[in-house]
Amino acid sequence: MIKDIIQCNDNLKSNTHTLEILSTHFPQCFNKEGNFDIDKFKDLIKDDIDVTHEGYDLNFLGKNYAKLLASIDTTTVIQPDLEHNAKPENANSQNLYISGDNLDGLKHLLKSYNGTVKCIYIDPPYNTGSDGFVYNDNFNFTSEELVDKLGISEEQAQKIFDLTTKGRASHSAWLTFMYPRLLLARDLLSPDGVIFISIDDNEQANLKLICDSVFGEECFVSQLIWAAGRKNDSKLVSVSHEYMLCYVRSSELLKENNVIWRERKQGLDDIYACYNSLKKKYKDNCSKIEIELKNWFKSLPQGHPAKDHSHYSCVDSNGIYFPDNISWPGGGGPKYDVLHPITKKPVKIPSRGWITNENTLNDWIMEDKVRFGVDENAVPCLKSYLKDREFSVPYSVFYKDGRASTKRLMNLFGLKAFDNPKDEEIISRLIDFTSSKDALILDFFSGSATTAHAVMELNARDLGNRKYIMIQIQEDCKQDSDAAKHGGYKTIDQIGIERIKRAASKIKAETNANIDYGFKHYTLVEPSEDTIDKLEEFDAKNMFTNNDTLSLFGKETVIETWLVKDGYGLGAKVEEVKLADYTAWLCGKHLYFIEAGMNENDMVALLDKYQQEPSFSPENIVVFGYSFSFSQTEMLRKNLFVLRDSHKNLKANFDIRY
């Protein structure tokens, strides 16, 4: 467990994570000592790819150190919130909220959710100088250890040591903070996955370069620009926008599958509401409805999303439309006579010819899909109905008043719970046009849990089954904030948890949609130095075993941490396996022995269970080493060999974890 991880981390280098990926996909390029043979790799790819020595990369103080942080495993354990998770609304929920450092959280998630996350949205610190960002990690490396692990000089090691221990807020500090998190996030994305990252001008250029390095330049989709409203607090230029960088996991896969992103145009519901109201008032008087609809569009405030569709201001018995071009794109279309329905004279033919052949156009006229002028002197138009064009390619530039989300959150809490929350309506749009209704959504800079709110709103709207994972460090609320003074919230994750509860209650009351309103909560706990000392001092051959060490963590924490490690995910269902006097825990192909007290009768009962119950065939026996003496583990190990000669011919793996 923790002791095993510490020993493994001692031998890691900054490129360990990269070599593990290469070993998985190109094992033929490693020799028997486990060393990577670059010449074999070059020979393997020489017929398939052009190798180039050109190009550029973003280099910064701390880059190799950041790679090292991505490679070493986390020593935190996963502590379930038993009381919260047992509540009826949460017991079967697949939504997850993790309180803890997101670097640790991502490492845990990779063990169970690698390649499964469809959409990631994050709003990391912007490093503005006033947003509170400083980099000060808790890894206890010495300068000498960095020299060895990173292969750098003592002077460089000291600079990195200073960077990571003295609360820096430089560009290098910010990049060192972000780089390992983005590396891990990339591996969590599904092959068709997408990530959106909010940022402003302070680190936008650096973020673009670091994302090009992590995800690949070819996987860059767009830099969305959010115009959030005018500001009057600048002497030179009023900066009223932010960015959202968008990358996909594999651009080639999206091309192969001909993936197309489309979103429903904003403001349509307001347009339809106005139209239906006018239709109810004026019955079938389309001319009157049309006049009032145009006046309504004019009355809308600047920035209202419906105003972008004010060209849809014509009305007939089939609905709202705009008079579209009826000529052949680029010219050279067919030319033939079309009679005006009233004057019965040939109408004016478009200079580029008609958009289609004579038979099709006559059909459109019969179906009332063509709008004629008052007489034959005007070129007709094609009626383009709003109901047929509700979806469009997402625009890279969009307007949304940045104050609106703050007001909604204040109304939800009854106080200013969080400064500058992101807009859940915007995030729901991003999720909607990039993912399916059963997608897994991740936000590892959760803040006030805007993304969780967005997922619930989207599910309620289309009855989807999207799941979310939120990660938020237990950052202290500012003492003079409304959240602390009037709300009683001590940490940011408490605000996020409360927001999810309040938003769920509001959405359920308003929609009564049958969706998952709950979530399971877990906290990442770093063992104390005293606990680690006790683990390192333990000697199974010479010490009397009991549950003292287990009590340092708790049975549920050990099981939860192992379930994630073994690929079952957070909240996986386990079942008790009763032996003679002992209880083990089963999940999938793993049988866990956690507590002390197993005896020979329990061993006999275990073997009988294997041999007599056809459905009982766990392939992995996992033991909490601190609860078992050397003789007990040997008893388990030796007796499990019997299974190889049984009718099941089962070779069970035996794993003692410390």
User: How far apart, in whole angstroms, are the C-alpha atoms of residue 39 and residue 21?
Assistant: 18
pLDDT tens sequence across 208-226: 999 999 999 999 999 999 9
430-474: per-residue pLDDT in tens?
999 999 999 999 999 999 999 999 999 999 999 999 999 999 999
| Residue 3: predicted pLDDT | 79
For the segment 96-113, what is each residue's pLDDT rounded down to a tens digit?
999 999 999 999 999 999
- More confident of the two residues 545 and 117: 117
456 and 540 inside one domain: no
Q: What is the pLDDT of residue 50?
A: 60
Distance CA 445, CA 382 (A): 49
Mean pLDDT for the chain overall: 91
pLDDT value for 191: 96
CA distances from 520 to 337, 564, 581, 616 (A): 69, 14, 32, 29
493: closest CA among 97, 125, 105, 109?
Answer: 97
pLDDT reading at 522 higher than 90: yes
* Strand ranges, E, within 186-318: 189-199, 220-227, 241-248, 263-264, 314-316
Question: What phi-psi label fits residue 41: left (phi over 0), alpha (psi between -120 and 50 degrees) or beta?
Answer: alpha
- The values of phi and psi at residue 87, to 5°, are -65, 150
- Judge whether 324 and 315 are in contact, CB under 8 Å: no
Q: Does 558 lie in the same domain as 519?
A: no
The H or E element spanning position 119 is strand 117-122
H helices present in 228-267, as ranges = 251-256
The stretch 19-25 carries a mean pLDDT of 78
Burial 254-275 (b: 16+ CB within 10 A, else e): beeeeeebebebbbbebbbebb
- On whether both 428 and 539 belong to a single domain, the answer is no
Asked whether the beta carbons of 470 and 117 are under 8 A apart, the reply is no
Segment 595-602 mean pLDDT: 94
Find the domain containing 357 and state its range: 328-383
Same domain (yes/no): 130, 225: yes
Residue 141: per-residue pLDDT: 86
Per-residue pLDDT reduced to its tens digit, 150-178: 888 889 888 888 888 888 889 999 999 99
Is 316 within the bounds of a domain? no
Residues linked to residue 248 through DSSP beta bridges, in sequence order: 194
DSSP labels for 420-479? SPPPHHHHHHHHHHHS-TT-EEEESS-TTTHHHHHHHHHHHHHT---EEEEEE--PBPPT
DSSP class of residue 306?
G
pLDDT in tens, 179-200: 999 999 999 999 999 999 999 9
pLDDT score of 77 more than 60: yes
Single out the residue of 263, 262, 367, 260 nearest to residue 321, CA to CA.
367
> pLDDT-based confidence at 237, cuts 50/70/90?
confident
Instruction: Report d(CA 370, CA 350) in Å as an integer.
Output: 14
More confident residue, 638 or 546: 638
The pLDDT of 620-639, averaged and rounded, is 91
Is 293 a member of any domain?
no
Tens digit of each residue's pLDDT (9 = 90 or more) over 560-576? 999 999 999 999 999 99
| Residue 36 DSSP symbol | B
Confidence of residue 26 (pLDDT cuts 50, 70, 90): confident
d(CA 169, CA 290): 58
DSSP 3-state percent helix, strand, coil across the chain (nearest 5): 45, 15, 40
Q: What is the pLDDT of residue 137?
A: 81
Same domain, 184 and 101: yes
What are the pLDDT digits (tens) for 315-361? 999 999 999 999 999 899 999 999 999 999 999 999 999 999 999 99
Residues with Cβ within 8 Å of residue 40, at least 6 apart in sequence: 28, 29
Residue 145: inside a domain: no
Report the alpha-carbon distance of residue 124 to residue 178 in Å, rounded. Answer: 8
Of 531, 644, 538, 653, the C-alpha closest to 596 is 538
* Mean pLDDT, residues 547-551 taken together: 88
pLDDT of residue 616: 92
- On whether both 252 and 366 belong to a single domain, the answer is no
Residue 342 has a pLDDT of 96
Q: Are residues 406 and 519 in the same domain?
A: yes
Decide if 295 is inside a domain. no
Q: How many separate domains does the chain show?
A: 3
With respect to residue 613, please indicate whether it lies within any of the assigned structural domains: yes
519 shares its domain with 534:
no
**101, 116, 114, 244: which is closest to 184 by C-alpha?**
114
Residues 459 and 436 in one domain: yes
Same domain, 81 and 214: yes
Residue 348 CB neighbour total at 10 angstroms: 14
Predicted pLDDT at 366: 96
pLDDT on residue 23: 78
Decide if pLDDT at 1 tops 80: no
Burial (Cβ within 10 Å: 0-12, 13-18, ≥19) of residue 401 = middle
Does residue 285 sit within a domain?
no
By the 8 A CB rule, do 445 and 469 touch?
Answer: no
Interatomic CA distance for residues 429 and 475, integer angstroms? 28
Q: How confident is the model at residue 36 (pLDDT cuts 50, 70, 90)?
A: confident
Of the three residues 490, 523, 556, the one that is the final residue of a domain is 523
Q: Residue range 19-34: average pLDDT?
A: 78
Is 70 exceeded by the pLDDT of residue 52?
no
Residue 279 within any structural domain of the chain: no
Residue 83 shares a structural domain with residue 221: yes
DSSP letter, residue 158: H
The mean per-residue pLDDT over the stretch 613-631 comes to: 92
Q: What is the pLDDT of residue 228?
A: 83
Last residue of a domain, one of 491, 508, 523: 523
Give the pair of three-digit tokens for residue 512.
Answer: 């009564």
Per residue in 478-517, pLDDT (tens digit) is 999 999 999 999 999 999 999 999 999 999 999 999 999 9
Do 519 and 537 belong to one domain? no
Q: What is the pLDDT of residues 372-402, one digit of tens each?
A: 999 999 999 999 999 999 999 999 998 888 8
388 and 332 Cβ atoms separated by less than 8 Å: no
Q: What are the Cα distances from residue 198, in Å, to 152, 262, 443, 631?
A: 33, 21, 12, 56
Question: Where do runs of H (alpha helix) occur along 512-629?
Answer: 529-537, 548-553, 555-565, 600-612
**Which residue among 383, 407, 428 closes a domain?**
383
DSSP 8-state symbol, 309: G
Domain of residue 219, CATH code: 3.40.50.150
Q: Can you give the pLDDT at residue 647? A: 61
Residue 29 lies in a domain: no
| 87, 275, 454, 455 from 91: Cα distances, Å | 6, 45, 22, 19
pTM of this structure: 0.88
pLDDT at 47: 62
